[in-house]
């Protein structure tokens, strides 16, 4: 589904030219969740671990810093301020790995969903970087949709929800992305995310390091 996201008027600022960027705004559909799934999702959201990984050794930390430098260069046009850019990338890196997702895929999804705009709002009410629908804050959060404009909260919700859809679709990423967008079975949205994700691919040769995110095995930490 192709829609336009809009910025809250009071927050347009100097980057208002980006408000006209056409994106695929999120439109997850509210569906009944069994108690076990609701509990698991709520627990994943409630965990308040900071988005700063504890690197097991210097090699893993250096790999992360090389990734950060490469992604920062690619994102500079969209986020000019270095501190904002670093905090955003650090949080995406942490939350994607925490959910067992490929970070490049998550960045591609954010590009398609909100064009990296923190305060993007779609016509159907999806909010923030990952265009999370407000009903999720009632289903698995504290019920306050304003929290979806908080960077880490939005990214955590988005990553946890996408992980849930991937698991529900038994690993079928194409169908999971369609479900995330509310367009399950149609190719436009998954194809747009896959194409955008290519911009954020990053690989480094060498052995796979130990996972820098507690509880996430190395094989679910793509990109090193």
27-68 pLDDT, tens digit each:
677 776 767 777 878 887 877 666 777 788 999 999 999 999
Per-domain residue ranges for the chain? Answer: 6-28+103-197
What are 18-38's pLDDT values in tens digits?
333 444 555 677 776 767 777
Comparing CA positions, the residue from 177, 190, 221 lying closest to residue 203 is 221
> Per mean pLDDT, which range of 7-16, 20-29, 33-42, 99-108 is the poorest?
7-16
CATH number for the domain whose boundaries are 6-28+103-197: 1.10.530.10
State the Cα–Cα distance between residues 117 and 110, nearest whole angstrom.
9
Question: What pTM was computed for the model?
Answer: 0.78
Q: In the structure encoding, which two tokens stand for residue 168, read together?
A: 């529900």
Helix segments in the chain, DSSP class H:
35-46, 58-75, 82-98, 103-114, 135-140, 151-168, 173-181, 188-197
């Amino acid at each position: 589904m192709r829609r336009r996201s809009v910025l809250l008027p009071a927050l347009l600022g100097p980057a208002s030219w980006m408000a006209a960027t056409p994106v695929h705004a999120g439109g997850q559909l509210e569906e009944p969740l069994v108690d076990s799934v609701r509990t698991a999702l709520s627990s994943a959201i409630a965990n308040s671990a900071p988005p700063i990984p504890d690197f097991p050794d210097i090699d893993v930390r250096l790999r992360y810093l090389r990734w950060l430098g490469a992604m920062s260069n690619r994102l500079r046009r969209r986020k000019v301020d270095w501190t904002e850019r670093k905090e955003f990338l650090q949080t995406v890196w942490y939350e994607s790995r925490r959910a067992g997702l490929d970070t490049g895929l998550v960045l591609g999804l954010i590009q398609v969903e909100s064009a990296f705009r923190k305060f993007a709002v779609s016509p159907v009410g999806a909010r923030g970087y990952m265009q999370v629908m407000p009903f999720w804050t009632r289903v698995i959060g504290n019920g306050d949709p304003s929290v979806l404009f908080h960077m880490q909260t939005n990214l955590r919700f988005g990553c946890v929800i996408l992980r849930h859809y991937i698991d529900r679709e038994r690993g079928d990423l194409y169908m999971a992305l369609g479900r995330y967008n509310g367009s399950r079975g149609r190719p436009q949205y998954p194809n747009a995310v896959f194409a955008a994700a290519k911009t954020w691919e990053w690989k480094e040769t060498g052995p796979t390091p130990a996972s820098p995110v507690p509880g996430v095995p190395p094989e679910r930490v793509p990109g090193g």
